[in-house]
Chain A
Amino acid sequence: MKNLVILGAGTAGTMMANHLIRHLKHPEWNIAIIDEKEEHHYQPGYLFLPFDIYSPKDIIKTIEEFIPKGVQLIKQKIDLILPKENQIRLADGTDIQYDILIIATGAKIAPEETEGMQGEEWQKSVFDFYSFEGALALRDKLREWKGGKMVVHITEMPIKCPVAPLEFAFLADSFFKHKHMRDQVEITYVTPLSGAFTKPKATDALEHLLHDKNIRIESDFAIERVDNENKKIIDYGGREIAFDLLVTVPTNKGDELIGRSGMGDDLNYVPTHKATLQAKEYSNIFVLGDASDIPASKAGSVAHFESEILTGNILHFINKEPLTEEFDGHANCFIETGNGKALLVDFNYTHEPVEGSFPFAGIGPLSLLKESRMNHMGKLAFRWIYWNVLLKGTHIPFVSATMSEKGRNYEEITEH
Chain B
Amino acid sequence: MVINKSRYRFIVFVSFAVLIVLIAFAAAIGTVKISVLDVFKTLLSRFELINGSKILKTNEIIIFNIRIPRALLACFIGMGLSMVGLVYQGIFKNPMADPFVLGTSSGSALGAAIAIVLGIEKTFLGLSSIAGCAFAGAILTTFVVYNIAKVGNRASNTNLLLSGVAMNFFLSSIISFIMVLDRNQVEKIVFWTLGSLAGANYKNVLLLMVITIPSGLIIYSFARDLNIITTGEETASSLGVEVERVKNLMFIISSLIVATCVSVSGIIGFVGLIMPHIVKIIIGPDYKKALPLTLLWGASFMVLCDILSRSLLSPAEIPVGVITSFFGAPYFIYLLYKDKKKVIQ
A, B co-complexed: no
